[in-house]
Structures are given as C-alpha cells and as structure tokens.
Chains A and B, each alone.
Chain A
Amino acid sequence: MDLTDIEALEARFNGELQACADDRALTALHDAYLSRKRGHIGEIMRQLPQVDPSVRGAVGQRANALKRRVEEAIEKRRAELAEAAQQAIVDLVDVTLPGIRPRRGFIHPISQTRREICRIFMQMGYSIEDGPELDTEYYNFEAANIPRDHPARDAQDSFYVTDDLLLRTHTTPVQIHAMERRKPPLRIIAPGRVFRRDATDATHTPMFFQVEGLVVGKGISFAHLRGTLQTFAHMMFGPDVKLRLRPSYFPFVEPGAEVDISCFLCKGNGCRVCKDSGWIEILGAGMVHPALFDRVGYDRKEVTGFAFGMGIDRITLLKHGIEDTRLFFENDYRFLSQFRS
C-alpha cells in the first residue's frame, strides 16, 4: 500500500461519481467509499498499521484528504442532481394551460343601471327612498292628482288586488309617503319595480323599473330642474350630451316636460335607435303640482319643487343596444353573463 494506490482510488471514484445519475446511485457510492466497515477508504485506514512507517504519516493524511473530497463531491453531485430534477419538473409547466377560474357571477343589467343612476344622484346629495309595491288607490293615483275617471289613467292601466289595493304603476306613491313623513326641504330619489297592464311586446312588459326624483324647498325652479337633469345626463351618458325639454302633460307636475337627450350613439346625425331624429326620449319631468303639496300638508305658498321620472329598463336598453325588453325577465344565462360589471 502506498500513495499511488490512493491516487488510483481517487481516479476510480471520480469515474464512478460521473456515472451516478440519481440519488440512489449516490447513496450506494457513498456507502462503497465511506462506510466504516466496508468502505474503500475505511479499508485503507484499517491497513494503515501495515504501511511502511516512513510513508505511513503521508498516506494517512492523503487518505483523510480523499475522504473529505469524496464527501464533498458526493454532496455537490447530490445538489446538482436535485436541481436538475427540480428543473425537469419546472420544464413540465405549461403556462398556456387554462387557469382554474373561480365561478363567475353577474349583477342583472337593470340592477347595474339602477346603481349607476342612484350613485349619480347620491353624489348630488339625494337620499334614497323606497316603499311597498302594493299600494292604495290614494297613494298611487288620488294623491298624485289623478282622480278616478281621469283620462291620464289610460296610460297607467293597473293590476288590482282589491277595490283599493293595486300594484303601483309608478314610484310616485313613494314620493307621497316621503313627503308625508318628512318636512321640506327634501331631495330624494325612489327606484323600484312598477306594474302596468300592458300587453307584452318588444318594448313593453307588464313589470318594469323606474327611478323618480323629487326636490322640494324654498325657491326651487324649473331652471333647477333643467340644471339637475343636465348634470345627470352628462354623468350618465357623457359630457357632450345635449338636453331638450318639450312641453308635456303629467297630472302631478306643471309645467310638465318630456326630456330628450341628443343621441349618444350617432351624435345626433340620426340612427335606428333615435329613429333618425337625433334625439332620444329618456324621462318625464316638471314642477310639482301645487295640489300634491295640499295633499301632504306642505304650504304651496312657501315651497315649490320639481320631480322627474325615468325608466331604468329603457335606459339599460339604450346603453347596451338591447332590442327586446322581454329579455330582461327571461333570465337566460347567455344574456345575463354578457353584462360584466
């Protein structure tokens, strides 16, 4: 036994190390060289007493150095193999596989529009009111200045449950309740479901949604109504939208107005939606009729007010280019899932 034997062993180890391709082979190699009882280096150590004393010290040192190098080399190799294995796994990742998505839910387009309208008016300091959908003749009609046998009832043919109870035809009764409960000044909007006995077609359903607004106080004028609706139209439809007010008739307001906005689809040049007129009718409005103030106990000499009302369904139709209002209540997932909010 001499130094050349140790050098030969090291050369053999280097060759065998290169041949190790996995963890198990490395463990076997480790045992073959470093095991106390059976390992090659252990064997050298055991034979050391028989070595010529003049080289015994040098051989012992070389054997110990070899043991360290073998240990380090095996560890290094082990780390290399682990890294390679990790890389092999990483190389399997296909980031173009579809992601596992959470289930999606959608807010009904009418609710989306309602929220948008409410948010705009809340920014303008309005409070939100609601009330029963089943209300009395008095609140739906009489207090709104539409007595029995009034021709204006034609436009609001209603569903009755008893002689006195009906499904509200507009959200005006909410305004009446609010005025009864609160003193002026007030500034409210009332969104909600309303019902009319209309035959169902592409533009009519017996149930639809409205938002009505009411502002009452000292010195409230038609100019304020105009300013308010203009602000709303700009926020809802864009800053370039123009407003047009035409005289019209609703028993609960006077002067009454029909309000058009310039068509935001064709910029007023004429298209199918605005029937080539460049204008789209979006709401009805006017100054609160003094008779309503008399009913709720407001002093008509002290306060004036304006009111307006619009169809949420109609605005939603316009906003999304929907052609048939019946789609809103058919609840087809293929329809509802188009309205990402």
Chain B
Amino acid sequence: MKISYLWLRDLAKLPAGPLETAKALTSMGHAVDTVSKLWEDHIFDLDITSNRPDCLSAIGLARELAAYYGTNLHTRPASPVEEGQRIENLTTVVVDAPDLCPRYCARVLTSVKIGESPAWLKSRVDAHGFRSINNVVDVTNFVMLEMGHPVHAFDLDRLGGHMIRVRKAKAGERLRTLDAVDRLLDPEVLVIADQKEPVALAGIMGGELSEISAGTTRILLESALFDPMNVRRSSKRLGLRTEASARFEKGCDPEAPPRAADRVCHLLQEMGCVVARGYLDVKSATRPPAVIDLKVADVHALLGVEIGAEECARFLDLLGFTVKLNGAESLQARVPTHRVDVSSPVDLIEEIARFHGYDRIPAALPPLDSEPEPLPAHLALEEDIRDFLVGAGLTEVITYSFVQPPADPAGMVPLRNAISERTHLRSSLAAGMREAALHNINNGHEDFRFFELGHVFPAGQRESAALGILVSGGATAEPTWRAPADRPDFFEVKGIIEELFERVAAKWVAFRRRDGTAAAEISAGGAAVGWIEPLTIDGRHPAYLAEINLDALALRIGRRVDYAPVVRYPASWRDVSFLVDESTEYASVVKAVADAGGRELGSITLIDLYRGDKLPGGKKSMTLRLRYQSATRTLTSAEVDELHARCVEAVATLGSVRR
C-alpha cells in the first residue's frame, strides 16, 4: 500500500524524517519496501500483512507511529451540521441478510454539485494511486485511505423507490458494474439492491445505474460492514478485487461505519453539500469488544525475556488497549474495536514483543531434550544413490513435477487449475528428463549423463520416490588424443545400474528383455523395480533412459555389509569357448554353468562375444573364463580339470564347445 509521509507526519505529529519513519514502520512489522520522493513529500510503499487491515489507512499507520514515538494522534473533524429534511423521509434501508451485513449506516446529502475536487484532495488521492474523478468520488476514496473504511455514494434519485435493500442476488440477475462489465450474479453474492434490482456488489463495487454523474444532486452514502468471508468468496468468484473488497475481506472496525459516513459528510459539506438530518443505522447485535486476561509469567515464558507487568500495560495502552493491572502477576486488556486481529493472550504477547522490540530479545540455544534420530532409511538411500551416481560421472537435474502430457494422458493425474501447458502430474521421470535432454541438445550440448531423484504420481497409486537416468554421452565425455568419443551404450547404462544395485545391496537383481524391443525390465527380489529403454531425442540423438522405483527397491535391499572371510587358497582359471544359437541368452548359459560348477566355481566372466561371417548362420561365439577356488583347501590340478569338465559338459547342452 502507498502512503504519504507528510500525511502521517501531520496525523501523528512525527518527530522523525521520512527515512527514519520508514525504519520505525518496518521494525513494527509494516515493511516499507520503497521510499520514493514526490515533490516535497515522500511516498512509502508498504507491505501490510493480512492480519492488520487497520493499517491499510493513514490513521491506522499514524496510530502505530504515535504509539512508537509516544506522540498524540491528531483527530480529524467528523461532525457535519445537519439541516433540512430528516433522512427517514428521504430513503429507507432494509437488510434481508443480517448475517452477511451486520451493520449498514446511511446518510443522505442534498444540494450536491458535482464538480472537480479542490487541489489538495486531487493531489492526495493522486499520490496514493487513485485517479481523481469528481469531488464526491474523491472524498469517498480519500476517507477510505484516511480511515481504512470503504464508503460508497449512490445517486439517490437513480435508486428505484429511493430505497436500499441488502440481499443475496437472485438467480439470473445481472449487474453492470462501474468497470463497464456486465456480470451474471449467482445467489451466493450479496448485493445492494433498490426496489427492484441490484445496484452494487456489496463491499466490492458499485453499479453503473446508480453511479454519481454530472447531474447528481442527491446522494445516499453507504457506510457498512460486510461479512469478510462472503466478500472474499464473491470477489474471487467474480474475479474482481477492489480497494474496498481488499479491506472488507480482512475485517473492518465495527464502530467505523458511522464515523466514516460523518467524515465524508463533513468534507462534502465543506464543498457546499447539505447533510440531511439523522442517519440510518441498521445493525444486528454486534459482539462486545474482547476482554483478555494475560498472565505476565506467560509473556516471560514465551518470549524468554523478562518484561514487567507495568511495562506490558504501558505498551498495550499506547496501542489503544484499555488495560487493568492485577498486581504484578496479570492484567486485563480490552481490545480496541479496530484491532480485529486480537482475540487471545498470545495476540497480546505478540503486541508486547513488537513494542519491546524483537531485536532486544536475547539469543539462547534450546535445551537438547529430544533424542536425535538417524536419517530415515529411504532418505539415506537417496543420498547414497546421489553420491554414487555423481561419482560415476552423472549430473543431477531437477525437473518440474508437472508436465505437458502426451496425446494420451492415460495413467496420469491432471491438475484442476494448471497455469501453463504443464497440465498433468508426472507419472514417470521420463518426460522431464527428455525435456532437459532436449534443452541441452538444442543448445549444442549432446554429450551428457543425467539423473533425477524425485516423486512421481501415477494415477490410482500412491505417490512414490523414483530415480531417473538419461545417458546421451558415451563412457568418455569428449574425444581424447587416445580415443574418440563413445556412443551411448545399453550395457553401460546397465553397468551403472548393476553397480548401483550392488552398492545398495539390492537382492536378486535380474534383467529381462521386454518382448520384441531393445528395452529391459529390471527386477529385484522377484519384483519389478524399473526399466531401461533406448530412445531417440529430437529424432536424431540416440540415448538410453532408465527409471527405478525407489520405494519398491527400498523393500528389497538387504543388510548392507555381511562380512565373508577372505579366501586364502589359490584360484585357478580355465577358459571355455563355444557356439550357441543367437536366441540363447547369456543368462541361461550362466545358470547352466553355475549349477554345474557348484560351490568351488568362484566366478564366471564373459571375456569374448563374437558374431560374424566366420561363424555358421544364426550362431554366436562366447568365451567364458571360469575361476575355481575352494574356501577350505588348495584344489589340485586334477580336481580343477574335473570341475571344469563338468562345466564344459553343461555348456555343451546349450551349444557346441570349441576345443
């Protein structure tokens, strides 16, 4: 909100200059974002928190400053001289919805001459961001700025039946508001109506029909209270936020309506209008001001600093509370009506802290009386994965949790109120990673290996943690003087995942070909945990994408380190080469050999895989290097030969062994 320094100075008789005043406001919780010079004045742009609607006004801020500096708030005259007819003879006010309009004050002015505002008024509303329109509108805006209470002026002669009825809109009713928009009203909207139709959106904006115009001679002045919730809902639904609705929706001083009306009348009277006798004040029972009991010990306990009862009482008194001290232990404070935010002891403690000064509260460390807990396992797993992958040369990316969906968004959860083409929650990390890849490729960088750790939201399932890997570059980042740059390779991605799974001690990891594709499904402990897929980015750039469901993986990891004694007996190696059908998977060979070799077969390593013209059609050649070792003794050459013969025999059941 914008407010003039000179205005505040006049109202609060400030002893300080603009910059110092801005600091004081900030220290009280009314953050001054900028101070800009305007002629001889300075305009503060403030960030008023939503709990302090009373400070959306010159008097509200001046009241805070007067309390801060211990000066007196200058009151403004609001005592119009009434003449002529009584208001009851000129208009009537009926409130059909007292729950949504607890108070409605009306005044009538006659002999109105619509014209330009005096210079002081014009410049004041102008400095606060309002366009000067005419004397009446300017005065109502001025009073809203001054007192924080929105007031609306109707052309009395354009109100059907010269009356006001506060009611909910009827289905199908329309209103053309002052912003020249024809609005269809729904029955939840509270309107100000005349005898037959709505003339204003209560607390939000007036209608064109009853607008003050050059020919207006009689005015009905509305100064009311509206239910904050209803104003807020209506203004949201209508997509119409105004200075008035911004104030009503946060709550207004219940005692303000007659005062604000009188202040407007007073100013308009100075401009030649006649104020009719009396005013209408339709109100339902309003709550009496809150009275709060506060224990001084609670102030000390919550703030951690000793502030005596007298001091607490002094602060509250400065802020307009009516305080009664009960010895040194407690006090009772009656809340001023403009403080709609204060209703409980802790609210009072905040006021005391604010005036004591947050920076005068000492610093101390809390007692360590709670036992710290270890990092939860799933977070520890993520940290381990992050470290491993970064060490393995992958770079972490973070992509949006919502994505642009594919043509068929089945399996994805849509956002109800997206703000861009990212309309669906991601069900996989793939889309975001592809997007990151595309961005880099479009910027001339094709060689990268990325990973992301984040949540995914598949439709109909629980949100879960996932790991995504996208490999576009080969093993070496760039061509070197020893070797050219590599292409991305399935077996490297698989190698990264195998190594990762081994590090986190995943159980029984297996890769299975996805039928008819070059993709692989990954399982651990017998359950599906992820996949690897080849893909082409932008139609040209080969890459591999993998995704692991970390929640599923976390359930299938074992104890991290299970010590096994180091084998001290020597190992022997034997190789076996053989031809098998192309359709024979390596895994089946390994299984056959492992079963045959038993405990003394230490490891199986594929050291050569050959395909080519020299082989019979449909065949491939493999060479395995087998390591034989016993944990309990040295194997003799004859024993090794016998073991190896068994393994070779097993191989022979799958293909032809080359001797």
Q: Which of A100, A224, A226 contacts B482 (CB 8 A)?
A: A100
Q: Which of A100, A206, A219, A227 contacts B365 (CB 8 A)?
A: A227
Contact between B391 and A304 (Cβ–Cβ < 8 Å)?
Answer: no
Contact between B439 and A246 (Cβ–Cβ < 8 Å)?
Answer: no
State the interface size on chain B (CB cutoff 8 A).
88
Q: How far is the CA of A85 from the CA of B299 in the complex (A)?
A: 89
Contact between A134 and B457 (Cβ–Cβ < 8 Å)?
Answer: yes
Q: Which chain B residue has the least Cβ–Cβ distance from A159?
A: B415
Please tell me if A149 contacts chain B, counting CB pairs below 8 Å. yes
Q: How far is the CA of A98 from the CA of B478 in the complex (A)?
A: 12
Q: Which of B302, B396, B397, B399 contacts A304 (CB 8 A)?
A: B302
B473 contacts which chain A residues (CB < 8 A)?
103
Q: Mark A157-173, 1 if CB is under 8 A from B, else 0.
A: 00111100001000000
Please tell me if A187 contacts chain B, counting CB pairs below 8 Å. yes
Contact between B301 and A304 (Cβ–Cβ < 8 Å)?
Answer: yes
Contact between A104 and B415 (Cβ–Cβ < 8 Å)?
Answer: no
SS of A interface (majority): mixed
Please tell me if A255 contacts chain B, counting CB pairs below 8 Å. yes
Contact between B481 and A254 (Cβ–Cβ < 8 Å)?
Answer: no
Given the interface pairs A98-B481, A258-B31, the reply to whether A134 lies near B425 with Cβ below 8 Å is yes
Q: Which of B303, B373, B439 contacts A223 (CB 8 A)?
A: B303
B398 contacts which chain A residues (CB < 8 A)?
108, 110-111, 328-329, 331
Q: How far is the CA of A329 from the CA of B422 in the complex (A)?
A: 14
Contact between A108 and B439 (Cβ–Cβ < 8 Å)?
Answer: no
Given the interface pairs A103-B477, A257-B358, the reply to whether A337 lies near B395 with Cβ below 8 Å is yes
Which of A17-25, A122-130, A261-269 contacts the other chain?
Answer: A122-130
Please tell me if B115 contacts chain A, counting CB pairs below 8 Å. no
Q: Which chain A residue has the least Cβ–Cβ distance from B454?
A: A193
Q: Which of A215, A249, A332 contacts B49 (CB 8 A)?
A: A249
Which of B257-265, B349-357, B563-571 contacts the other chain?
Answer: B349-357
Contact between B250 and A222 (Cβ–Cβ < 8 Å)?
Answer: no
Please tell me if B327 contacts chain A, counting CB pairs below 8 Å. no
Please tell me if A201 contacts chain B, counting CB pairs below 8 Å. no
Contact between A167 and B350 (Cβ–Cβ < 8 Å)?
Answer: no
Q: Which of B354, B389, B418, B448 contacts A247 (CB 8 A)?
A: B354
Q: Which chain A residue has the least Cβ–Cβ distance from B436?
A: A331
Q: Mark B27-39, 1 if CB is under 8 A from A, else 0.
A: 1110100000000
Please tell me if B63 contacts chain A, counting CB pairs below 8 Å. no
Q: Within B415-452, which residues are at the interface with A (CB < 8 Å)?
A: 415-420, 425, 436, 439-440, 443, 445, 448-450
Contact between A247 and B419 (Cβ–Cβ < 8 Å)?
Answer: no
Q: A126, A128, A290 — which one has the most chain B CB atoms within 10 A of its CB?
A: A128
Q: Mark A322-341, 1 if CB is under 8 A from B, else 0.
A: 00000011111110110001
22 CB-based A-B contacts, threshold 8 Å? A98-B481, A103-B392, A106-B390, A125-B370, A130-B376, A130-B379, A159-B402, A193-B401, A193-B455, A195-B401, A197-B417, A215-B366, A218-B369, A221-B303, A224-B365, A227-B363, A248-B29, A255-B303, A256-B350, A331-B450, A332-B443, A333-B395
What 10 new A-B contacts, CB under 8 Å, besides A221-B302, A221-B304, A254-B346? A105-B390, A115-B383, A124-B365, A159-B418, A161-B425, A167-B415, A185-B370, A207-B401, A249-B51, A329-B400
8 closest pairs, A vs B, by CB? A223-B304, A103-B393, A247-B29, A221-B304, A249-B49, A331-B436, A151-B50, A255-B350
